[in-house]
Amino acid sequence: MKKLLNIKTILIGLGLSCLTTTSCVDLEEQVYSQVTADNFFRTNEEFISALGAAYSSLGGLGNHSGLWSINELASDEIVISTKGGDWFDGGVLLQLHQHEFLPDNPFFQNSWNFLFGGINTCNRLIFSFQSLDNPNSAAFIGELRALRALFYYWAMDAFGNIPLVTDFTALESPGTKTRKEAYDFILSELNEVIPLLPTAKDGTTYGRMTKWAALTIRMKLYLNAEVYTGTPQWALAAADAEEIINSGPYSLMPSYKDNFLINNAGSTENIFVYPYDKVFAGGFNWVMMTLHIASQSTYNLTQQPWNGYQTVEEFYNSYIDPSKNPGVQGPVWKGLALSQSVGTIDGRLSNFLVGPQFRSDGSRLVDPGVEPFDATGRNGDPDGPPLTFMPYLNEIWPQGLRQAGARIGKYEFEMGGTNNMSNDFVIFRLSDVILSLAEARFRLGNTSQALALVNQIRARAGNLDPFTTLTEENLLAERGREMFVEMTRRQDLIRFKKYGQAWWPFQGMNRPKRVHQPGSHLELFPIPEPQLLANPRLKQNPGYN
């Protein structure tokens, strides 16, 4: 079996337990034993078994309408166009990309439930472990506190002012804490538990919180400290990044795309992952979310994809050097042809699926519903029904073209696959740490060191000339290319003061652009309306009242 024996096996066990529970029909079955604190939490294996419930909370990362979706759709990377009668969904998707956030958008409620569901599970297990007189419990409590800190970090980044709950037995509804209070709490938790966490990179720690994963969370807190608290912490961010790079057991993979294979447990670069499995730990649905309906025949999928998530054209074009490809700014079909060239473009274009599409037998794939080509040269497929993914997006509403937009190809798709993917979902990766160190050093004035680090990432990408100078613009662009759809782009744009600027692609389609300045209330999502109704002690973020 691939991957980790412990957490992976525990997740499988949780899935099997659900199956066996539903098959029980004898409601008066005699109970011969009970699991209690006295007779269960005695060995490391029993503690790890209990930890599975906390880690399984991460399973919501890889599917539609949750935390990943709100971060990516609100960035300049990803959009879901309304394709006639498909994907309007009451306008909630357009709200996200056009920065017209409303508290009743169900994506915010889904994200909140994901985050605080994970926090609640961590609190429950911490409470259980604290009640034990067992020397093994301290290390596992530290692991749970680090995982809880991750959920709180994501919540604070997305919603800013959030409740902080650590007592599982508390009966009173929690009030809202400021973003600075949340930042301080997360930092304090990490400072306390990092010395307690394991440092090994092996089967016993795969998919679990280690010192290096917790250091990455802290590095990211420091990297964004000026946004979160008003006070920059570049030197502290650099120190954590240096420790991970110099002392951690990680190295860049020779090939970028190998970090995202179906069997990517062997990556030397991935610091923290969630180990999905198409049978026992499902929920990684990108194959459904991005591929065209007709793509079922390309991969012999057991289900028909949804033809949803697309890449913003300008973001796709950022991978192609116009000085080497003079036609890239011309008609879309020249750009599309260039994307198939070798030796002239960023090797990380493996992130995308573009160009003519084929059945698994090699024959041309046909979409009978494809829009006809028109005289403008940009609307429709010039080949007619044969399906071609083109980077060009004509509009995001109301008649987005069915074949428009490069599709997300970052994770390898399985031939004969299901709606659930088995690739392990990458949460933290060494290249992010290297680029974070580069940025911290750049902010501190060490531009030559920063330049060398960025060029290390460009060299691995292949076919790219090294930068001769480093600017905020090309540093942000390099982060974008390397970290595509890894839930960092919205955060990066805010930190670089580019979020929602006038150049925002499709941000105000068919209406005046909503341009907002750095520090705008739109840098935070609204507290979901159902949470405010359920807990009057919560306060809505400014600008959404």
User: Is 231 buried (19+), middle (13-18) or exposed (0-12) by CB count in 10 A?
Assistant: exposed
Within-domain flag for 429: no
* Residue 9, pLDDT score: 63
- CATH classification of the domain holding 134: 1.25.40.390
Same domain, 272 and 316: no
Within-domain flag for 207: yes
Angle between helices 44-56 and 137-159 (to 10 degrees): 10
Query: Which run of H or E residues covers position 408?
Result: strand 407-408
Same domain, 271 and 360: no
Q: What are phi and psi of 426, to 5 degrees?
A: -80, 120
What are the residues facing 399 on neighbouring strands?
A: 83
Instruction: Dig out the tokens for 34 from the structure.
Output: 């009970």
Q: What is the pLDDT along the chain (545 residues), one digit of tens a residue?
A: 344 445 666 665 554 344 333 333 333 434 333 444 554 566 778 888 889 999 999 999 999 999 999 999 999 999 999 998 899 999 999 999 999 999 999 999 999 999 999 999 999 999 999 988 788 899 999 999 999 999 999 999 999 999 999 999 988 999 999 999 999 999 999 999 999 999 999 999 999 999 999 999 999 999 999 999 999 999 999 999 999 999 999 999 999 999 999 999 999 999 999 999 999 999 999 999 999 999 999 999 999 999 999 999 989 999 987 666 655 443 343 334 334 443 457 999 999 999 899 999 999 998 877 766 544 444 555 555 788 898 988 888 888 889 999 999 999 999 999 999 999 999 999 999 999 999 999 999 999 999 999 999 999 998 899 999 999 999 999 999 999 999 999 999 999 999 987 555 554 455 556 678 888 999 999 999 999 999 999 999 999 98
Within-domain flag for 289: no
Say how far apart CA 315 and CA 496 lie, in whole Å. Answer: 16
* Residue 513, pLDDT score: 60
Within-domain flag for 505: no
For residue 352, give the DSSP letter: E
Within-domain flag for 125: yes
Q: Which residues contact 494 (CB under 8 A, 6 or more apart)?
A: 224, 227, 518, 523
* Residue 10, pLDDT score: 62
Within-domain flag for 365: yes
* Residue 274, pLDDT score: 98
Same domain, 154 and 229: yes
Within-domain flag for 331: yes
CB neighbourhood size of 65 (10 A): 21
What are the residues facing 356 on neighbouring strands?
A: 388
- Of 225, 274, 229, 270, the residue nearest 439 (C-alpha): 225
* Residue 515, pLDDT score: 75
Tally the domains of the chain.
2
Q: Which of 407, 437, 466 is the last residue before a domain boundary?
A: 407
* Residue 40, pLDDT score: 56
- Residue 232 sits in which domain range? 7-14+42-281
Within-domain flag for 253: yes
Say how far apart CA 160 and CA 230 lie, in whole Å. Answer: 13
- The gap from C-alpha 221 to its chain's centroid, in whole angstroms, comes to 17
What are the residues facing 281 on neighbouring strands?
A: 277
By residue count, the chain amounts to 545
* Residue 228, pLDDT score: 98
